[in-house]
Amino acid sequence: MIEAAALKTPDRLVIRNLRVRGIIGINDWERKNRQDILINLTLEVDTSAAVKSDDVEDSLNYRSLTKEVIRFVEASSFNLVEALAEGVAAVCVRDFGATRVRVRVEKPGALRFAESVGVEIDRGSEDF
């Protein structure tokens, strides 16, 4: 018999369309000029303590998380969106304790006739 706790759907914290400027790409001009990068995060977190206490200290502080993701992206210099996404996932899991995270990183206007191009990855604590 499966325990009720094992069937519980995880809580999710969602950050949509975080726009950051960073160095990303393989072309010479991309290595010199910062570009817009869109980041979407869906983090699995346990919110039960925060729900009971209504205290930010018992929650994953999404303002602090967002600031750290921005700092990470602005300080980085990746060739591939895949590598950037992996780094952002590591920040979410290792530094902020998310049990799982889905990270979507997009470069708006990177392809002609496309709104954006990007990658979406899913990582958990077992990956780091």
Q: Are 22 and 34 in contact (CB under 8 A)?
A: yes
Q: The tokens 């205290």 sit on which residue?
A: 55
Share of the chain residues as helix, strand and coil, in percent rounded to the nearest 5 = 40, 35, 25
From 32, 52, 67, 107, active-site residue = 107
Fold adopted by 8-127: GTP Cyclohydrolase I, domain 2 (3.30.1130)
* CA distance linking residue 73 with residue 68, whole number of Å: 9
Q: Give the pLDDT confidence of 68-122 residue by residue, as tens digits.
A: 999 999 999 999 999 999 999 999 999 999 999 999 999 998 888 989 999 999 9
Q: Give the pLDDT confidence of 28-72 residue by residue, as tens digits.
A: 999 999 999 999 999 999 999 999 999 988 999 999 999 999 999
Known active-site residue 107? yes
Q: Which two structure tokens, joined as six digits, stand for 4?
A: 């009720």
Taking the whole predicted model, whether its pTM rises above 0.85 is answered as yes
